[in-house]
Amino acid sequence: MIRYEKTKGLTDLHTHYCPGCTHGILHKLVAEVLDELGVLGKTVGVASVGCSVFSYDYINTDFQQVPHGRACAVATGIKRVLPDRIVFTYQGDGDLASIGIAETIHAANRGENITVIMANNATYGMTGGQMAPTTLIGQKTTTSQEGRTIAQHGSPMKISEIFSQIEGAAYIERTSMHNIAHINKTKKAIKKAFTYQMENKGFTLIEVVSTCPVNWGMKPREALDWSKEHMLPIFPLGVYKDVMKS
């Protein structure tokens, strides 16, 4: 008989996330992976500003909550002091690709042996659905009410592609949460990233195409379909860098 048991990697708190938001499942994937790898008690998480700032309430490890965009700098400080621990950041696209791009790129370039989980939902969720660097061309947000234009704000930033060019990056993969098969692939990617960290291979980043039904003005199912139809052509899935294969 197969019986489902909740991972020890999650606390018993109910999350504050909106109905249909993919953060809850993504938290669970991270928690399950840390549990399965047997490193929950050796892990320090870094909770960034954004919807996921409360990840420290849900993922059952020690945590440090950090200023907007600075997750990878704080993670650097932690990992340098505690090189035998597992250190990860959990960030959104606004936090990582906009205000925190410098900290993230330089942490990657130094080959900091940390894992970055980046949820890309093409918007600033917590502040109410403003345009992010990852917002699609034509996508309407509260700060691009007639749709984002290249002329005014440039094109969506492709984080996995950018980070694949960085020497110190060991593993970069973009995955999606739009169906169960892809959620399972996301978990495998996260496990690989943490395994690489345990093997001291360097900087690992998993960019997870996610949804924000409330700020997109969609039902949860519609949001999943929209992410597949509109985001995946701009943000193609796949492994962008793997030091063990290059």
Partner 1 sequence: MKGNEAIARAAVAAGCDAFFGYPITPQNEIPEYLSKLMKDHGRIFVQAESEVAAINMVYGAAGSGARVMTSSSSVGIALKQEGISYIAGSELPCVIVSVMRAGPGLGGIQPSQGDYFQATRGGGNGDYRVVVLAPESIQETVDLMKQAFEIADLYRNPVMVLADGLIGQMMESVDLDKPVKKRHIEPKTYAAIGTDYHEGRNIINSLGLDPVYLEQHNLVLERKYKEIIKHEVQYEMYNMDHAEYVIVAYGTVARISRSAIDQLKEQNIHVGMIRPITLWPYPKKAFDLIPKSVKGLLVVEMSLGQMLDDVQISNKGRFKIAFYGRAGGMVPEPEEIVDAILHFDEKVVD
Using CB under 8 A, list all residues that contact partner 1.
40-44, 46, 53, 56, 60-67, 70, 73-82, 85, 102-103, 106, 110
Least separation in angstroms between CB 38 and partner 1: 10
Least separation in angstroms between CB 48 and partner 1: 11
Q: What is the C-alpha to C-alpha distance for residues 84 and 212, in angstroms, rounded to an integer?
A: 36
Least separation in angstroms between CB 109 and partner 1: 9
With respect to partner 1, which residue has the nearer C-beta, 103 or 173?
103
With respect to partner 1, which residue has the nearer C-beta, 56 or 196?
56
Which of 158, 135, 130, 129 has its CA nearest to residue 148? Answer: 135
With respect to partner 1, which residue has the nearer C-beta, 23 or 182?
23
Q: What is the C-alpha to C-alpha distance for residues 50 and 221, in angstroms, rounded to an integer?
A: 23
With respect to partner 1, which residue has the nearer C-beta, 80 or 221?
80
Q: What is the C-alpha to C-alpha distance for residues 25 and 183, in angstroms, rounded to an integer?
A: 8
Q: What is the C-alpha to C-alpha distance for residues 33 and 38, in angstroms, rounded to an integer?
A: 8
H/E stretch holding 14 reads: none
Q: What is the C-alpha to C-alpha distance for residues 162 and 179, in angstroms, rounded to an integer?
A: 26
List Cβ<8 Å contacts ≥24 apart for 223-226.
223/20, 224/20, 224/177, 224/178, 224/179, 225/178
Question: CB burial class (10 A; 0-12, 13-18, 19+) of residue 186?
Answer: buried
142 CB neighbour count, 10 Å cutoff: 13
With respect to partner 1, which residue has the nearer C-beta, 59 or 157?
59
Cα dihedral 28/30/33/37 (nearest 10): -130
Least separation in angstroms between CB 107 and partner 1: 9
15 CB neighbour count, 10 Å cutoff: 18
Least separation in angstroms between CB 246 and partner 1: 25
Residue 169 in 3-state DSSP?
strand
Least separation in angstroms between CB 70 and partner 1: 4
Least separation in angstroms between CB 231 and partner 1: 29
With respect to partner 1, which residue has the nearer C-beta, 31 or 73?
73
With respect to partner 1, which residue has the nearer C-beta, 49 or 157?
49
